[in-house]
């Protein structure tokens, strides 16, 4: 059995850890409120713009106007992995990493074995994970989440779209966590490029058959609107991931605080038992000594 000093020191250490986890939970809750407000405001705009984009792309594809909807043989693939900058958020980051591995071992196995799969990590954790392993990566936007802004995402989106148009990549997919609520995040794999035709995403929208009036011209609108919509889609995915990260961290810190409380109960019980055993031992020694002197 551990002595009283060891148990007391451990109790003090657990109390300090519990205070830290409580503080981190409160910080995550405050950040979550801001992140949740941002994504709630962004979702309707991003979804409606995406629906309009699908209609525009469907028409443009028929007329041969959209380069972003050209479906090519999938020889070179880009996977965008959105993680967090910090840890202590449960399985949030590992879920993204595991999904990337599943894609490489299954869907894109041939491309991966040929060295034609590039991972673009967004977030320090993804940058560290894929950088330390045998992956072909692009490190230009690993620190994009530091001081996140639409301008930074705009730059990343422009790079991805230009690479697709140049033929550097034939397909681009985004792997990220979508925010549902504090305790629930959904892992998503969304196709970024080429843009899926309208009929292949029909179940997600009610805008089928809408006939738009174009002013000044359909070609000009398609040319300017598609890049903007794609950047909004990327920005929305990053905001979703940011909200999901804070939700996951809040849940993880809440569980850590509860676990620390349970451990404290056990340690206090051990401390009392150890203290009682020590007192009993001292009493027996005193009694034994008195009896020896009396004898």
Verify whether residue 89 is a known catalytic residue: yes
* Long-range contacts, 133-142 (Cβ 8 Å, 24+): 138/78
Residue among 158, 164, 124, 159 nearest 144 (CA):
124
Residue among 128, 119, 118, 120 nearest 85 (CA):
128
Q: Given 39, 89, 96, 243, which residue is catalytic?
A: 89
Q: How far apart are alpha carbons 240 and 252 in whole angstroms?
A: 18
Q: How far is CA 25 from CA 18, 29, 185, in A?
A: 10, 6, 17
25 neighbors 259 (Cβ within 8 angstroms):
no
Question: Which positions are annotated as active-site residues?
Answer: 89
């Amino acid at each position: 059995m551990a002595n009283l000093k060891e148990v007391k020191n451990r109790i003090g250490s657990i109390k300090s850890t519990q205070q830290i986890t409580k503080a981190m939970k409160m910080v995550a809750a405050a950040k979550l409120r801001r992140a949740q407000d941002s994504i709630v405001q962004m979702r309707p705009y991003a979804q409606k713009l995406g629906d309009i984009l699908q209609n525009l792309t469907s028409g443009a594809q028929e007329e041969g106007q959209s380069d972003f909807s050209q479906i090519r043989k999938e020889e070179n693939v880009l996977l965008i992995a959105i993680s967090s900058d910090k840890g202590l958020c449960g399985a949030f980051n590992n879920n993204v990493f595991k999904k990337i591995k599943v894609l490489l071992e299954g869907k894109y196995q041939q491309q991966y074995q040929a060295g034609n799969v590039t991972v673009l990590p967004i977030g320090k954790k993804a940058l560290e994970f894929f950088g330390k392993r045998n992956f072909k990566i692009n490190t230009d936007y690993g620190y994009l989440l530091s001081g996140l802004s639409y301008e930074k995402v705009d730059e990343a989106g422009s790079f991805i779209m230009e690479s697709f148009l140049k033929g550097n990549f034939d397909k681009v997919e985004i792997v990220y966590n979508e925010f549902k609520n504090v305790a629930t995040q959904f892992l998503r794999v969304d196709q970024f490029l080429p843009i899926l035709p309208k009929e292949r995403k029909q179940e997600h929208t009610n805008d089928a058959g809408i006939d738009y009036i174009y002013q000044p011209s359909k070609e000009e609108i398609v040319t300017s609107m598609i890049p903007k919509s794609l950047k909004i889609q990327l920005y929305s995915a990053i905001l979703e991931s940011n909200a999901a990260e804070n939700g996951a961290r809040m849940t993880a810190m809440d569980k850590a605080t509860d676990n620390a409380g349970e451990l404290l109960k056990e340690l206090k019980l051990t401390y009392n038992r150890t203290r009682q055993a020590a007192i009993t031992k001292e009493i027996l020694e005193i009694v034994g000594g008195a009896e020896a002197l009396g004898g």
